[in-house]
Amino acid sequence: MEYEIKHLDVWSVAKVVFIIFLIIGFFFSIFYVLLLASFAGMGGLGSEFGSAFPHLTGGLALIMALFMSVLIAVLYAIVAALFAVLYNIFVGWTGGIKMELESEGNVPVKEEQI
């Protein structure tokens, strides 16, 4: 069976992209805070950044990393929504993306459904 994608719902595209990048950003922010904390624990590296660097490894670094992950998720959701709008515009001129779907088996039909 061949189908063609003629329209993308902009809100659903933005929601899915936001949630995906929020989860990815959360894991990267945890990695960032742990990496920053390990650099602050090194003797020679902390002295190059002055006395304020160890304070960035506490709650401020976690808040900053989580804020940046939310901000990046919002920006990616906006970009994805713009691409969905552009897809909806251009699909009217060029046609949609064609895909071929195949069912894995025959679904039995009950006599009440007929």
Q: In the structure encoding, which two tokens stand for residue 91, read together?
A: 């699909």
Beta bridge partners of 97: 5
Q: What is the pLDDT of residues 75-90, one digit of tens each?
A: 999 999 999 999 999 9
Q: What is the pTM of this model?
A: 0.68
Evaluate whether 80 touches 17 at the Cβ level (below 8 Å).
yes
Residue that the structure tokens 């009950």 belong to: 110
**pLDDT the model gives residue 50:** 53
Q: What is the pLDDT of residues 43-70, one digit of tens each?
A: 544 445 555 555 555 667 778 788 888 9
CA separation for the pair 94, 89 (Å, rounded): 9
Mean residue pLDDT of the chain comes to 80
Radius of gyration of the chain (CA): 24
The residue-averaged pLDDT of 79-107 equals: 87
Q: For the chain, what are the domain ranges?
A: 2-103
Which amino acid does the sequence have at 4?
A: E
